[in-house]
């Protein structure tokens, strides 16, 4: 398998998701880490792509990049109603079974 996925969590992601993934050894970088709070969806996605990271978001507006055919390193979307345990389990499945290359220009829905 090629490179492991590295996630970028936008500012809508609960801290508990990030902490749970980090406890499992997943490379996670947040909007807070990047000092990217209160920036646009386009800025989040562009930053994540520049850092070779897959975006995890619960903001449906982020899907516009993919719908408009714009290049990205991958997007994982979960409904804002999804519970934290489900999100963490499914992100770990994505991390375990997909590579960074698999996620290029791809969207996974949780």
Identify the structural domains of the chain with CATH numbers, from first to last.
7-109 (3.40.50)
Residue 45 has what pLDDT? 85
Residue 12: CB atoms within 10 A of its CB come to: 15
CA 52 and chain centroid, separation: 11
**pTM of the shown model:** 0.90
- The dihedral through the CA atoms of 66, 10, 74, 91 has a sign that is negative
Per DSSP (E only), the strands in the chain are 7-9, 28-30, 54-57, 75-77, 107-109
Write out the chain's pLDDT in tens, 110 residues.
459 999 999 888 999 999 999 999 999 999 999 988 888 878 888 899 899 999 999 988 777 776 777 778 999 999 999 999 999 999 999 999 999 999 999 999 99
Rounded to whole angstroms, how far apart are CA atoms 29 and 107?
19
Rounded to whole angstroms, how far apart are CA atoms 105 and 75?
8
């Amino acid at each position: 398998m090629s490179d492991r996925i590295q996630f970028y969590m936008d500012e809508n992601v609960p801290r508990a998701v990030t902490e749970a993934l980090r406890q499992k050894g997943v490379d996670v970088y947040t909007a807070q880490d990047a000092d990217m709070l209160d920036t646009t969806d386009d800025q989040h996605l562009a930053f994540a792509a520049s850092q070779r990271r897959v975006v995890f978001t619960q903001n449906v507006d982020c899907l516009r990049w993919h719908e408009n055919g714009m290049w990205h390193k991958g997007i994982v979307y979960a409904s804002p109603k999804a519970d934290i345990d489900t999100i963490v389990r499914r992100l770990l499945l994505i991390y375990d079974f997909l590579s960074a290359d698999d996620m290029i220009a791809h969207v996974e829905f949780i």
